[in-house]
Structure 1
């Protein structure tokens, strides 16, 4: 394949995911940033094939700009190094059929370094190692490209893509734990001088190849060079946060004593499943868009963090307990799941939170041979079926605390779930590993004043809605269905008001859709559409329907071949009876 001519702009801008950094001279490990590396939601604009005035790729105002204007990058991943080079074109053909305009791929260091320690980027050892060949094929087929040269690429590669030779020849880059124990993961010290020198050698080999293929002069090319991985985008959230305690996620605890092992055995169950897993699933499937908050980082403001939902065990730092108490008394709302903490992270007694809640824990029942604790619902949680749970901590409410037991263990009648006023605030405390009952968890959150902004009428669980926004009041509604094997037709609403004109959205099983709400694209303002945008050009927007029919509402005049058209209040409503179609301005 022919190599494109060298590109020598005054400043070559490359983006790390949705963040930004500049590559100046090949081989230099980084450079001055073109713009903030903040997370972003890309704004709709011209897709591949649309020609604007030539210019560099930049990142500003939380938008990716290509050739002088904001661009919607619809990219797909093709791990070219896992394919024979003869299969590359067929994968690109499929990507084009899917409506993509950019291709992303990793460039693994360990793949290009041969056993003798030399780096092959020309294909001298095998054609798949020709580093320029795959980007050239992407460019030839009209795709922009995003490359990820690491040095740490992850990509489910051994050692994260760092050659084993580097670890072997420089043992000092391998992190050690207490008493010289090996780290629990194969990560290396990225600031170790030896690693930086090896990485510089790797970049000296790959960056010139990348630089010669940067997008310029309005033609496709490499638009981003990601030096990091899994960088997020700007999302919108409801008044809900997941409480996070970093101390509960440490991988090494010292010294190796019975007391420390007790801490580890207590915090491990609350890391992802158990008392944390059920409420998290309840939040997501209940329609809540939540963020996370570090409970060790500082005091919580009830106005900014209305409902944090932490999961706890018996051990919780005293400072965090006091912080939660202050938060509640100042008017905060708290959803607490798990055991009531009674010790700090050193094992010393610490009962400030349980005292403020007015609860005294007693026995903790766990499932055993021929016995499982059963929990019944009462008060605001009733009526609800009796269910079995793996664990229940039985608690007694102090007289005058105002605590209302909403869950009780059947065999003892003692409480394991409470609705409690605390100062100017309120807490819902669940001390049993209650299942992911959507009705229970959403009722608890509503009791605390948290309402999901977006709702739907799906008959079966597994549908949830999220949103991302641009800086021009445009949004994308991300609709997901994780139900296996069957689709669902749903209507969506925002704060009780129907979205998409009340039209039903067809979501296939294990499928998803990105639907525009108030998005400006191609010179049109799309008020809403039940179809995904597949291509944008000046004066037109191509779309792909979720089902056999789609509805597109445009503010102002618009037309579409074969569509039923109606106009009301300056808004054009187009009803289209086919899967793929194009809406034109005017």
Structure 2
């Protein structure tokens, strides 16, 4: 059995690959695992190539000359014989539960100075390094000298199977999850010098000499101690400066790796990839943090980004985080720049072999269809096959002396188990892969249509990877950002848009210039948080004046990203914002009375109540008061207790704004009513007795419509779809709980046909 005769092309094909770690298998098992992988329908294999595994105690590298399980060339040859393309992932970091995160033991043994120093001068036990330290880069170059020529000789333009190479892995993940920025003297000096170059020594001195600080711009010896233990007056300035500086460093690090790979013989026809991290607690809510850290590494279009998605089941709870993460990633890419999922979860979820987490077999199908519907063109099953962790070449006295910390068996949640037998969900993996690969050409050609609503991705709202542990001020600042950013309070905004048929994409907001060329042909939905820079607020208001339509969902911003007063948007709208009325659920953090709940009711307008129904309970509500009675402000909803407006419509120049300074519940009639005030209607109107049907309309360049329909709810349902006032199908169709389908309509046809039904056929 062979995969496709033509090698996969990551630039133009829809590629479904499977991760298999050759170094965790006996070479006698390689052919069997690849043949089993072929049975799933994948057309490519991805694999890490770990520095740690190939490095011998004397510092040399073995690629099979002495140890057969390291014969990478033979493994690549077996892939090529089966028509399987290969995505190689040589690090330097690879993680993959490996010790040292996959770096060779020689690095720290020879260069302990590369370890990062963090808050208060502490050094973490994790492998957190200065990515741009000359000693680390020299060691990484030495690894690349050994491995990249081997890979380059086997790239697709030289007749080999390699169609893509990943640069490093999850850059910045370890510093984030441990809250350990690199504040080594060398890095701090680079930070301060960059600030001086961007402004002046006097400006930097003024910025960091507030409060009881020992920072003196003329004395570099004071820089490290002062910034590693900042005083309260400095923390938000450092928060911004450190976050933006680190983004730039990551981009320079990837540029170094990219140049190194190209210089060692990998041609421009082989795409280079960057892997993005960010799932936390089986949710993707935090994932845009990783995008915020790394988006500059692919913003020039020279590398392709891919996500790591670990959320278990896709349901109504996890939907908005995953939807927003993919949309935000796409918003950072150029129009013709591919993106995808470099680690796509297809296992049982039982990663600790404790039977404490079990993911249903339908979860992978739901996530796969949603990823493709939102434009992903690469999906890599991680892991497709398990294996065993061999012993290290030298004992290190850590308990098992193996290459990884998971024990001997590895990948026990995969569809192909470590011993080669098939897990119960293997058949479902085959079914969903075949469905996608059979229609791969159409699915890749059908790109998401431009929706009526786009979500604003304020990249600085996710710059929360570092916070000084001793600062209550920064803790409160970060808590406010995490509560309100992205998908809005309780993630309701994105959930309402996704299940309401609006199929929103996203717009990157990385400063005031984001609005210079932003079209005003659709609604911008923004969860602003209480913090938004004044110049961004002003540019947003100017965009509305030019005819833009804006939906704000959350507390209206009154401070910039350093906590200073910033009211350009309030001033433009002619509003004053009152004190937030908070639910007792937040009494420990906010000024709220335990047991107290705000309630919001629709306000009667000239056309009647804005939505039908009674008052609704909310987590917070913020009164909005018009400064002038003749400003044309229309109250749409109010606090039931006081009657104060908290949802208003405001005309501004040629445009309009609906401000919902509350977390309204996810009731379709409420969100439809608010969006109708801004002349936005669903891309596809869904009629169903289940509030969990997601629709994503796509279209090919020659006019073929492909509409993805996914039921993420636990209920079977009947679905009727309508576009432009006309039924999309001849009659409603049944859609089983937690399954998906897609419909196809060719030019000239009046009705779409069901082209695929999900796993519950």
TM-score normalised by structure 2 residue count: 0.53
CA deviation vs aligned residue, 1:331-371 (integer Å, no higher than 9, x gap): 21111122122233343333232233233222322222222
Cα offset, 1:373, TM superposition: 1.6
Q: Is the 8 A contact 1:138 1:145 kept in 2?
A: yes
Distance in 1 between residues matched to 2:752 and 2:452, nearest whole Å: 25
CA deviation vs aligned residue, 1:164-223 (integer Å, no higher than 9, x gap): 653665456556667767699966555443333223322333334434544479x88333
Q: Secondary structure at the match of 1:457?
A: strand
Distance in 2 between residues matched to 1:258 and 1:342, nearest whole Å: 20
Cα offset, 1:294, TM superposition: 0.7
Equivalent of 1:105 in 47, 63, 68: 47
Equivalent of 1:138 in 60, 71, 79: 79
Greater helix proportion: 2
Distance in 2 between residues matched to 1:389 and 1:184, nearest whole Å: 43
Cα offset, 1:417, TM superposition: 1.6
Do residues 278 (structure 1) and 497 (structure 2) align? no
Find the counterpart in structure 1 of residue 754 from structure 2: 530
Query: Which 5+ residue runs of structure 1 have no aligned equivalent?
Result: 1-46, 65-71, 520-524, 533-544, 549-578, 580-586
Q: Secondary structure at the match of 1:309?
A: strand
Equivalent of 1:340 in 553, 556, 563: 556
Q: Is the 8 A contact 1:505 1:546 kept in 2?
A: no
Equivalent of 1:402 in 601, 619, 632: 632
CA deviation vs aligned residue, 1:417-464 (integer Å, no higher than 9, x gap): 222222221111111122333332233223212333234434313332
Q: Is the 8 A contact 2:742 2:754 kept in 1?
A: no
Q: Secondary structure at the match of 2:579?
A: strand
Do residues 290 (structure 1) and 520 (structure 2) align? no
Find the counterpart in structure 2 of residue 536 from structure 1: none
Find the counterpart in structure 2 of residue 266 from structure 1: 480
Find the counterpart in structure 2 of residue 75 from structure 1: 17
Find the counterpart in structure 1 of residue 147 from structure 2: 206
Find the counterpart in structure 2 of residue 391 from structure 1: 620
Distance in 1 between residues matched to 2:28 and 2:646, nearest whole Å: 62
Distance in 1 between residues matched to 2:24 and 2:674, nearest whole Å: 48
CA deviation vs aligned residue, 1:381-433 (integer Å, no higher than 9, x gap): 32134332222222333422332332222222222222222222111111112
Q: Secondary structure at the match of 2:623?
A: strand
Cα offset, 1:95, TM superposition: 3.8
Aligned residues: 468
Distance in 1 between residues matched to 2:33 and 2:673, nearest whole Å: 47
Distance in 2 between residues matched to 1:430 and 1:156, nearest whole Å: 44
Q: Secondary structure at the match of 1:331?
A: coil
Q: Is the 8 A contact 2:452 2:683 kept in 1?
A: no
Equivalent of 1:310 in 505, 526, 529: 526
Do residues 443 (structure 1) and 704 (structure 2) align? no
**Could you say what the CA RMSD is over the residues aligned between the two structures, in angstroms?**
4.1
Distance in 2 between residues matched to 1:137 and 1:505, nearest whole Å: 45
After TM superposition, the structure 1 = structure 2 runs for residues 40-119 of structure 1, keeping only pairs within 5 Å, are 48-50=3-5, 63-64=12-13, 72-80=14-22, 91-113=33-55, 117-119=59-61
TM-score normalised by structure 1 residue count: 0.67
Q: Is the 8 A contact 1:238 1:451 kept in 2?
A: no
Say if 1:192 and 1:125 are closer, same or farther in 2 by CA, change over 3 A: same
Q: Is the 8 A contact 1:302 1:330 kept in 2?
A: no
Query: Which 5+ residue runs of structure 2 have no aligned equivalent?
Result: 168-272, 276-305, 307-338, 341-375, 377-446, 585-593
Say if 1:139 and 1:531 are closer, same or farther in 2 by CA, change over 3 A: farther
Greater strand proportion: 1
Q: Is the 8 A contact 2:8 2:43 kept in 1?
A: no
Q: Is the 8 A contact 2:500 2:686 kept in 1?
A: no
